[in-house]
Amino acid sequence: MEDSRFYTLPKLPYDYAALAPYISEEQLRLHHQKHHQAYVNGANALFEKLDKARKDNTFTDMKATLRELSFHIGGFMLHNLFWENLAPAGKGGGGVPKSELAKAIDGEFGSIDRFRKEFSQAAASAEGSGWAALTLCRKTGRPLIMQIEKHNVNVFPGFGILMVLDVWEHAYYLDYRNDRAKFVDAFWNIVNWDVVGQRFDTLRR
């Protein structure tokens, strides 16, 4: 039985083969079933550890536990956002942003093309394992790129996330070996701009 106090692996909004050739079926299946699942399990194990310590009135090493929890929850949440902001090429994936989001991107970056280049560079240069994210600063209304290391380092508190790209090696090693830049190029064919636009509309209210 599912316990709503713990995380569960969400189903993908498309088939495992749907993002090919940009992400192969085997690559997507592994990424979802093994890697994303590992963050679900990791976070839940830490919740259990905290629950047990509270029940027994003992204390875990708070620093270590909270560091691990931030890593696993960050990984869990970012993957949820990632799957949702992808769609099969030509069937919701690819193209360009629309309406208000398009205006905001043009206003901040000058053009969609310039934004794409900045985002691609952020993704390609994320140190070690990490993510590129398009975020929204709700104070200024500015869309900003955030380069996240691991799942939780360099995160700007309070910024809403519009779009993420996973550039951990586990996201592309079967399809692109060590060529992260090639995977980043492929990503633009499967961005679900409708979902990114909906997130933008929700966050700016």
Interface contacts to Mn ion, rule CB under 5 A: 35, 166, 168, 171
- CA–CA distance, 36 with 96 (Å, rounded to integer): 28
Amino acid code (one letter) for 85: N
Q: Provide the 10 A C-beta neighbour count for residue 36.
A: 23
Min. distance of Cβ 5 from Mn ion in angstroms?
Answer: 24
Count of beta carbons in the 10 Å neighbourhood of residue 123: 24
| Minimal distance, residue 123 CB to Mn ion, in Å | 13
Query: Which CB sits closer to Mn ion, 35 or 204?
Result: 35
Q: Which helix (H) or strand (E) holds 164?
A: strand 160-166
- Output 71 or 200, the one with its CB closest to Mn ion: 71
- Cβ distance to Mn ion smaller for residue 115 or 166: 166
Q: Which residue of the chain is nearest Mn ion when measured via CB?
A: 166
User: For residues 84 and 197, which CB has a smaller minimum distance to Mn ion in the complex?
Assistant: 84
The amino acid that residue 110 corresponds to is: G
Least spacing, CB of residue 79 vs Mn ion, in Å: 6
Q: Tell me how far, at minimum, the Cβ of 119 lies from Mn ion, in Å.
A: 17
Quickly tell me which residue has 């890697």 as its tokens: 35
CB of 10 to Mn ion, least distance (A): 14
Per the CB < 8 A criterion, the answer to whether 185 and 22 are in contact is no
Residue 156 has a CB neighbour count (10 Å cut-off) of 13
Choose between 104 and 171: whose C-beta lies nearer to Mn ion.
Answer: 171
Contact residues for 17 (Cβ-Cβ < 8 A; gap 6+): 25, 28
Contacts of 26 (CB under 8 A, 6+ apart): 174
